[in-house]
């Protein structure tokens, strides 16, 4: 099935075996179909009433002109008896409006054809094409294809043809390491969700070897990609028949969700696009079988996005805070109210939501929402002093395409009081102090605006030089801190200073210290010595004067 004529309804191509013509049934849009394969050039080549042995077929727009082209895999015998009446495989180019006729461009595309009568390794060189599937496995923005061949003979091996972007293809099977013999079905699916489609097929690695199912992991390229998962609500849930168009710069591509591929196989229902070096997809347009058309713009690349049929919109309605002016270290709870509008899904959906504080992701989780419903989730944050921008983002990876992406973000500002450390009420004991005494310098340390315990350094400074330091474990409250100092004679500046290194963010750092000048008097014993020495000197002088007077009196006598 495919809408090859772009009229909005699926048409049907039927490949027939046993030399029968193939059919193309055009959907008339009223529940009836008109067969037009011969008229449009896709019935096969009529060779006296004989056509081909078609096994697999695949629709895909390999030249990105917006019209689905058709690849038909035939089993074509090359012996002189059957060869002349067997159709080779075809690469039909859709010529577009007004008639949507097809032209076989296989030879121009560089895909070899074996002439009738050619022989290889003891066999007539039959073309034994069977399963065939399109996929942009290298993510360069155009469709490549894989085709396998049946029969357990040396040349019945598969091919991976890479699209050169100019209408031609190159065989890269050996380089890609995906060659098998005697294959049948094949399909593409990005099974590990890394953006590079992987290949599954069945076949042998050598003649008469085991015929096994083989899964080839795509190692990827440096190109970007996007994958789109469709969920139908009015249309079928698998979205079969939906068409997706993307625009990424100059690159325009289309895909359709297929209900089956080639022969007895099914490609992934998630449609894949390679976008080369594009950093975003400018437009995603989804045309649903119901007729609903959804468009989404500026979608980031390298991700899987989900599009749900209808006008889906998930929004953050409100954010409330348990405390708008918390203290440092306090746990603050944010209640985030979500709402979902439009046709979302019949079952619950998990949607990512992220909390970002000052540009840094601090929490992320998934919440469950339903169509036309609301839900709330709670985040807890340990407050840090200062002003902060707190942002909540729902569907942060843009994994769901929405009618409105702007209401996915809610930003609030919160001002957390910074803690503050105050040094007050410094007193010196004893006072006055004398040289040589042990002086106790005591102060009150007060911590406010925090419920968190912190380590703070407190320094005792004499005349600009740190003479002692202590580390205190504190929270909100008042503490007594003291230092002992052996006093030196003279006038000194004594300072107690907290948080000298500035490791703790504070509301005010000017109140972290307290200074005072203290005069230390000469030691008491020195005073006594001086007094005694003074007395001795005075007594000596008096005695000297007395002797002088006595001497004078004796001489007169």
Residue-by-residue DSSP string for 64-132: -SSS-EEEEEEEE--STTTGGG-PPPEEEEE--TTT--EEE-TTTTT---PPTT-EETTEE--EEEEEE
Same domain, 462 and 352: no
Task: Identify the band that residue 371 occupies on the pLDDT scale cut at 50, 70 and 90.
Answer: low
Contact 302, 277 (CB under 8 A): no
Assess if residue 86 is contained within a domain: yes
Last residue of a domain, one of 206, 223, 240: 223
Q: Domain end: 354, 389, 416, which one?
A: 416
- Reported as a single tens digit per residue, the pLDDT across 8-28 is 999 999 999 999 999 999 999
**pTM of this structure:** 0.68
* Cα–Cα distance measured from residue 241 to residue 59, given in angstroms and rounded to the nearest whole number: 12
**Structure confidence at residue 348 as a pLDDT band (50, 70, 90):** low
User: 85 and 211 in one domain?
Assistant: yes
In a domain, 461, yes or no: yes
Please report whether residue 230 resides in a domain: no
One domain, residues 336 and 397? yes
- What's residue 347's pLDDT? 46
* Average pLDDT estimate for 280-289: 93
CA distances from 184 to 16, 52, 133, 191 (A): 16, 18, 12, 20
Residues 127 and 216 in one domain: yes
| Burial of 96 per CB tally in 10 Å (0-12, 13-18, 19+) | middle
Task: DSSP letter for 167, please.
Answer: S
Question: Residue 515 — φ and ψ, nearest 5°?
Answer: -125, 150
Same domain, 403 and 522: no
Amino acid 452: pLDDT: 85
Asked if the model's pLDDT at residue 345 lies above 60, the reply is no
* 441 found inside a domain: yes
Rounded Cα distance between 536 and 3, Å, is: 129
Residues 429 and 446 in one domain: yes
Q: In what order do the strands lie in the sheet with 420-429?
A: 420-429, 438-448, 477-486
Both 485 and 381 in a single domain? no
The answer to the question of residue 97 being in a domain is yes
Domain co-membership, 43 together with 182: yes
Are residue 99 and residue 212 in the same domain, yes or no? yes
Residue whose C-alpha is closest to residue 329's, from 134, 476, 129? 476
Cα(466)–Cα(288) distance, integer angstroms:
78
Domain assignment of residue 234, yes or no: no
Q: What is the pLDDT of residue 528?
A: 75
Residue 105 lies in a domain: yes
The number of domains in the chain is 3
State the average pLDDT over residues 18-42. 97
Tell me the C-alpha distance between 360 and 390, whole Å.
Answer: 9
- Rounded average pLDDT over 398-425: 87
Same domain (yes/no): 180, 318: no
Domain for residue 276, yes or no? no
- pLDDT at position 549: 76
What does the pLDDT look like over 475-521, one tens digit per residue? 899 999 999 999 898 999 999 999 878 778 788 888 999 999 999 88
Stretch among 21-35, 324-338, 372-386 having the lowest mean pLDDT: 372-386
**Tokens for 296?**
């989404």
State the DSSP H helix or E strand holding residue 468, giving kind and residue range, or none if neither.
strand 465-474
Domain co-membership, 99 together with 181: yes
What average pLDDT does the chain have? 91
Distances (CA, A) of 145 to 124, 157, 178, 254, 552: 25, 14, 12, 16, 144
Could you give the C-alpha distances from 170 to 88, 145, 175, 219, 233, in angstroms and in order?
18, 10, 11, 19, 41
Q: Stretch 205-223: mean pLDDT, rounded?
A: 96
End of a domain among 223, 245, 279?
223
* Residue 352 belongs to domain with CATH number: 2.60.40.10
Which H helix or E strand runs over 173?
helix 173-176
59-74 pLDDT, tens digit per residue, is 999 999 999 999 999 9
380 is in which domain, residue-wise?
A: 313-416
pLDDT of residue 142: 98
Q: How many Cβ atoms are within 10 Å of 173's Cβ, its own excluded?
A: 17
326 and 445 together in one domain: no
């Amino acid at each position: 099935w495919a809408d090859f004529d772009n009229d909005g309804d699926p048409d049907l191509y039927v490949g027939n075996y046993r030399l029968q013509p193939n059919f193309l049934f055009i959907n008339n849009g009223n529940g009836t179909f008109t067969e037009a394969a011969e008229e449009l050039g896709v019935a096969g080549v009529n060779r006296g009433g004989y056509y081909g042995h078609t096994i697999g077929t695949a629709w895909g727009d390999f030249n990105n002109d917006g019209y689905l082209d058709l690849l038909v895999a035939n089993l074509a015998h090359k012996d002189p008896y059957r060869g002349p009446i067997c159709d080779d495989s075809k690469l039909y180019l859709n010529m577009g409006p007004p008639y949507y006729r097809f032209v076989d461009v296989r030879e121009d595309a560089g895909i070899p054809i074996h002439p009738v009568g050619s022989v290889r390794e003891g066999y007539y060189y039959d073309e034994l094409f069977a399963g065939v599937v399109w996929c942009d496995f290298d993510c360069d923005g155009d469709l490549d294809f894989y085709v396998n061949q049946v029969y357990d003979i040396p040349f019945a091996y598969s091919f991976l043809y890479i699209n050169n972007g100019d209408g031609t293809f190159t065989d890269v099977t050996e380089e890609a390491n995906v060659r098998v013999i005697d294959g049948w079905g094949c399909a593409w699916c990005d099974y590990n969700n890394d953006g590079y489609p992987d290949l599954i097929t069945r076949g042998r690695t050598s003649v008469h070897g085991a015929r096994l199912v083989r899964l080839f992991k795509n190692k990827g390229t440096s190109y970007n990609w996007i994958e789109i998962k469709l969920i139908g609500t009015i249309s079928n849930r698998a979205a079969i028949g939906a068409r997706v168009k993307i625009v990424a710069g100059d690159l325009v591509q289309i895909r359709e969700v297929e209900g089956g591929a080639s022969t007895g196989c099914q490609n992934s229902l998630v449609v894949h696009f390679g976008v080369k070096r594009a950093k975003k997809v400018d437009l995603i347009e989804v045309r649903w079988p119901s007729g609903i058309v959804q468009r989404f713009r500026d979608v980031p690349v390298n991700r899987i996005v989900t599009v749900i049929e209808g006008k889906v919109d998930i929004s953050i309605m409100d954010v409330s805070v348990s405390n708008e002016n918390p203290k440092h270290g306090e746990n603050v709870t944010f209640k985030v109210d979500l709402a979902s509008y439009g046709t979302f899904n019949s079952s619950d959906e998990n949607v990512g939501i992220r909390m970002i504080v000052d540009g840094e992701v601090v929490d992320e989780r998934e919440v469950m929402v339903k169509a036309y419903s609301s839900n709330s989730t709670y985040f807890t944050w340990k407050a840090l002093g200062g002003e902060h921008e707190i942002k909540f983002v729902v569907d942060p990876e843009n994994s769901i395409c929405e009618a409105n992406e702007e209401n996915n973000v809610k930003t609030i500002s919160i001002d957390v009081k910074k803690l503050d450390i105050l040094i007050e009420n410094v007193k010196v004991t004893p006072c006055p102090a004398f040289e040589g005494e042990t002086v106790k310098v005591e102060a009150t340390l007060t911590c406010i605006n925090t419920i968190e315990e912190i380590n703070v350094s407190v320094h005792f400074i004499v005349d600009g030089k740190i003479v002692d330091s202590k580390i205190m474990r504190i929270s909100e409250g008042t503490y007594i801190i003291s230092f002992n100092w052996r006093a030196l004679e003279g006038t000194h500046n004594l300072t107690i200073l907290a948080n000298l290194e500035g490791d703790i963010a504070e509301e005010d750092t000017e109140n972290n210290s307290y200074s005072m000048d203290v005069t230390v008097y000469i030691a008491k014993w020195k005073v006594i010595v001086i007094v005694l020495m003074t007395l001795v000197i005075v007594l000596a002088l008096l005695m000297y004067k007395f002797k002088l007077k006595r001497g004078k009196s004796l001489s007169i006598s």
